[in-house]
Amino acid sequence: MAAWQTRVHALAAARNAVILAHNYQAPIIQDVAHHVGDSLALSRIAATSDAETIVFAGVHFMAETAKLLSPAKRVLIPDQAAGCSLADTINADQLRAWKAEHPGAVVVSYVNTTAEVKAETDVCCTSSNAVDVVRSIPEDREILFLPDQFLGAHVRRATGRTNIHVWLGECHVHADISPSDLVESVRANPAADLYVHPECGCTTSALWLAESGELPAARTHVLSTGGMLDHARRETSRQVLVATEIGMLHQLRKANPTTDFQPVNPKAACPFMKMTTPEKLEACLGDPSLTRGYEVDVPADVAARARQAVERMVAIGNPGSGE
């Protein structure tokens, strides 16, 4: 694959393009990218890059976010059909109807949403700053939190607020990392630490295990993908169980080769993330006159309103990790 990587880098240089790969991409895609990370961090890196073209190896809403933050740049995605089961749980019409049922409520949208949904949002949040964003809203204001029900439940627990209405959406991959998967993994590996993404259906069980003492609280960590990577760099435990999409293991193992990172559910692979193949990535970087089918754009009026929701989040404080 060395020859393929050389070709891809040569095409990127010729097109003045920067290649971004999400943590959940296949290892071969991660290894050829100029930058690997979560969607928001990657989009912010691209916005400061001198590159004229952004190639986003991820899912569609991520490429849209890159376009929001780099409106003058060309944004390409290797497969336009790479969607997101979480983002697809709510559209702009559904959000407008929900807002009509709760006039005056503040809409907080996770970054894992389409640009059209962000345009109907008051302020965005990431998995690492969702609690801070909600705490910045006056306690007497109702909140509509969307679209992830598990992240919403985590925010409710952390803030103690009872006036948060949570959309019943979920990432199918994270939802399938079940409480039983978690309990079985912890009991089979009693000396291991635990990293759990707040989108997971097993987050409550992880906290219960910590509260019961079966897994010491000091070894139980609810973290965004960026938080997992930061924690992995200073990890001293011999083994860590990881509850998130399995593509994340590649970056964790690179960050800390001395710790044994194992998935709570080894089948937790996102089919949309794996739609980016070496062949598609190379084709995406081909002759610019032939690659219009890879381009992602956002209507100017939608982009302007969506960008405001992201900027309000940044104004509250460090947005940290996107997912």
- Dump pLDDT digits (tens) for 86-104: 999 999 999 999 999 999 9
pTM recorded for the entire structure: 0.92
**Are the beta carbons of 323 and 244 closer than 8 angstroms?**
no
Confidence of residue 215 (pLDDT cuts 50, 70, 90): confident
Phi, psi of 286 (to 5 degrees): -70, -160
- Check whether 321 has a pLDDT greater than 70: no
Question: Domains of the chain (ranges plus CATH)?
Answer: 2-83+272-297 (3.40.50.10800), 87-171 (3.40.50.10800), 174-263 (3.40.50.10800)
- pLDDT tens for residues 110-129? 999 999 999 999 999 988 89
Whole-number Cα distances in Å, 197 to 133, 147, 154, 209, 257? 18, 15, 10, 15, 21
Radius of gyration of the chain (CA): 19
**Helix crossing, 248-255 with 225-233: angle to 10°?**
20
**Are the beta carbons of 60 and 131 closer than 8 angstroms?**
no
Instruction: List CB contacts of 165: < 8 A, sequence separation 6 or more.
Output: 98, 102, 105, 142, 143, 144, 145
Instruction: List CB contacts of 138: < 8 A, sequence separation 6 or more.
Output: none
Q: Any idea what DSSP says for residue 105?
A: P
Q: Any idea what DSSP says for residue 131?
A: H
